[in-house]
Each structure stands twice: as C-alpha cells, then as structure tokens.
C-alpha cells in the first residue's frame, strides 16, 4: 500500500489499557493559560519513567468553559486510578494553583470512578478555604495572593488507551522532521487524543528490556541508522532518520482516527516508509493494523 509515494508497511501498532482524567483549565487570558498547561504537562512524555503521560487535548473557547474564560482541556494518563490519585493533585497543586488567575474543573462528567482533587489541595488554604456546591458539584475556593484558586472537589477517571503509534522513515533528518511536524499539526485539533512526547515526536523510540538489568526499556536499535551493519535493521533502504509519533486516547476510535490523519499528513516525497511499533502482541491487547486504520 502506498500513499503519496510513501510505502505503508503491513504491520500494526500495539497499545495497552490505561486510565485517564480530563481537566479543564481556565485563566484570565491565553498567556497564563498556556503557562499553566505547559507547566502541568511537563516531564510526562513516557510512563516508563514519568509519573504520567499528559498533554493538551485542545483549546476551549470561553463559551465552552464553566466560568466563561479562555480554557484548555488536558488529558493525564496513568496505569491505574490509584496512581492518578497522587499524580493529579500533586501536578495541579504545584503547576496550576501556582500560575496566576487559573481555575481547574472536571472535564469528563462521568467515568468508572472519581478521585479527589480539590479535596486534597484545599488544605493549602490553612483553614481559610471554603467550599461551594453548585448543581450537585462541589468546588473549593482557596485563598491565594491574587484572589482565589477555584478547583473542583473530585474528578472522574475513565478507561483510556496508551501507545498508539506510527514510525516515519525519511531519506534525511530534515525531510523526516518536516513530515513529523505535518503529522502533529494534523493530529493536534482532534478531540480525545494527545501526543505526549516533545513537540509530539519521539526520537528515542524504545524496545522492552535491555542488556542492563536495571532498565525497563532501551534504544530501538533496529531503527537507529548509525547501527546499520551492527544489528538487524528495520529501516528501509535509503532511510537515514526515523521518528515515532505516540498517541494516547480516550478509546480505539479516537486513536485509529488520529493515526490515519497523521499518517496521511506525513506521507510524501522523501518519506520512504511508514511503519509501527509492536512487540508481537505481547505488550497490549489493542492492535491497530495500519492498513485497516487507513481503509
């Protein structure tokens, strides 16, 4: 199968079950909103070593937010609701409450269970915090130096999927970078998905395990152009750079759609092949066949 001259390999991306929360963050203007989102989603590219995988899902207009201000929806993924119980309040307390003018609300409205958010952070108010029940939802008002930080008491946790992916193989680094940016720009507006790596792109794709026992994962040597001739390669002839786009999403349909949109945007001159990362079906139960995704 080819798209715009790019060979689409007959393989699948392997993904696994995760849990996630969707937070709606609002602020006085786009400047402070962007500052809060960047801080909240920092150091969250891979669950291999980070406490979560997080990213901005999409911008929200004032008409879409609970308080009528500029907003953004952010998704945070973890392996379990229990892990998110500590991750989410910690990140919100340290990265959003500290940011001028912000407020945080639950962005799901339903899910398998709920975890505390404002219920945990409220103690920062040192007894001066106040709660408010509106429409059956409880919020906390925590005094801060520019007024009050408003945060929802609890947020829902839902089942999600982590690890959807595709890998670009370009004839040069410049060509592969341009294709990766096209893919991310196409995926960015889509609902229900995030691309958690820097700029949405992973240069250091990994494989499970290592010759060093302490490591859970190590470099994907089959895609490293400098290791050609030293290890069996998965790079096609003429490919000198590869980038992986990893996608976490709310469900299979959201990830499949994002993969299709990203692959079609990336394909073109100089992108010799697009493939995907899997471990023979041993890592996760969700298998995204590239040809089916693109059908």
Tell me the percentage of the chain whose pLDDT exceeds 90.
96
- 242 and 171 both lie in a single domain: yes
Phi, psi of 23, rounded to the nearest 5 degrees = -105, 140
Residue 47: predicted pLDDT = 94
Burial letters 14-37, b for 16+ CB under 10 A, else e: bbeebbbbbbbbbbeeeebbbbbb
- Calculate the average pLDDT of the chain: 97
For residue range 254-274, list pLDDT tens digits in order: 999 999 999 999 999 999 999
| Tokens standing for residue 186 | 């196409």
Residue 202 DSSP label: B
Q: What is the CATH number of the domain that holds 125?
A: 3.30.70.520
- 66 and 94 both lie in a single domain: yes
Contact yes or no for 137/157 (Cβ under 8 A)? no
Which of 158, 178, 203 is at the close of a domain? 158
For residue range 40-68, list pLDDT tens digits in order: 999 999 999 999 999 999 999 999 999 99
Residue 71 pLDDT more than 90?
A: yes
Q: How many residues does the chain have?
A: 295
| Tokens standing for residue 88 | 């989410």
- 205 and 249 both lie in a single domain: yes
Which of 133, 158, 183 is at the close of a domain? 158
- 138 and 165 both lie in a single domain: no
Residue 203: predicted pLDDT = 97
Rounded average pLDDT over 162-180: 98
Residue 239: predicted pLDDT = 98
Rounded to 5, what percent of the chain is helix, strand, coil? 30, 35, 35
Closest alpha carbon to 183 in 261, 290, 272, 294:
261
Residue 283 pLDDT more than 90?
A: no
Domain span including residue 205:
2-14+161-294
- 141 and 109 both lie in a single domain: yes
- 154 and 25 both lie in a single domain: yes
Question: In the structure, what pLDDT confidence band is assigned to residue 280 with cuts at 50, 70 and 90?
Answer: confident
- 206 and 275 both lie in a single domain: yes
- 184 and 143 both lie in a single domain: no
For residue 120, the surrounding DSSP H or E stretch is helix 118-121
d(CA 169, CA 179): 10
CB burial class (10 A; 0-12, 13-18, 19+) of residue 70?
Answer: buried
- 269 and 202 both lie in a single domain: yes
Task: Give the chain's domain count.
Answer: 2
> What does the longest C-alpha to C-alpha distance in the chain come to?
66
Which of 134, 158, 182 is at the close of a domain? 158
d(CA 48, CA 210): 13
- 103 and 184 both lie in a single domain: no
pTM: 0.95
Contact yes or no for 187/247 (Cβ under 8 A)? yes
First to last CA, the chain: 10
- 38 and 150 both lie in a single domain: yes
- 263 and 148 both lie in a single domain: no
């Amino acid at each position: 199968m080819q798209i715009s001259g790019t060979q689409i390999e007959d393989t699948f991306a392997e993904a696994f079950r995760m849990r996630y929360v969707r937070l709606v963050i609002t602020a006085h203007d786009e400047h402070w909103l962007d500052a809060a989102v960047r801080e909240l989603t920092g150091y969250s590219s891979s669950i291999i070593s980070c406490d979560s995988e997080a990213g901005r899902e999409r911008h929200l207009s004032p008409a879409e937010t609970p308080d009528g201000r500029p907003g953004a929806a952010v998704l945070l993924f973890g392996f379990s609701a229990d892990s998110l119980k500590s991750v989410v309040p910690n990140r919100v307390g340290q990265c959003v409450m500290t940011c001028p003018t912000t407020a945080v609300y639950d962005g799901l409205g339903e899910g398998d269970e709920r975890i505390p958010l404002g219920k945990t952070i409220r103690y920062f108010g040192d007894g001066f915090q106040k709660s408010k029940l509106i429409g059956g939802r409880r919020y906390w008002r925590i005094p801060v130096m520019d007024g009050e930080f408003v945060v929802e008491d609890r947020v829902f946790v839902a089942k999600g999927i982590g690890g959807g992916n595709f890998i670009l193989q370009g004839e040069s680094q410049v060509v592969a970078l341009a294709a990766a940016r096209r893919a991310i720009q196409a995926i960015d507006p889509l609902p229900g998905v995030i691309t958690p790596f820097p700029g949405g792109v992973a240069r250091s794709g990994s494989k499970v395990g290592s010759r060093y026992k302490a490591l859970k994962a190590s470099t994907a040597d089959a895609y490293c152009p400098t290791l050609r001739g030293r290890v069996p390669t998965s790079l096609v002839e003429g490919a000198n750079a590869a980038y992986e786009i990893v996608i976490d999403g709310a469900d299979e349909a959201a990830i499949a759609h994002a993969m299709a949109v990203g692959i079609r945007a990336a394909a073109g001159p100089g992108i010799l092949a697009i493939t995907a990362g899997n471990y023979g079906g041993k890592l996760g139960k969700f298998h995204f066949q590239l040809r089916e995704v693109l059908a």
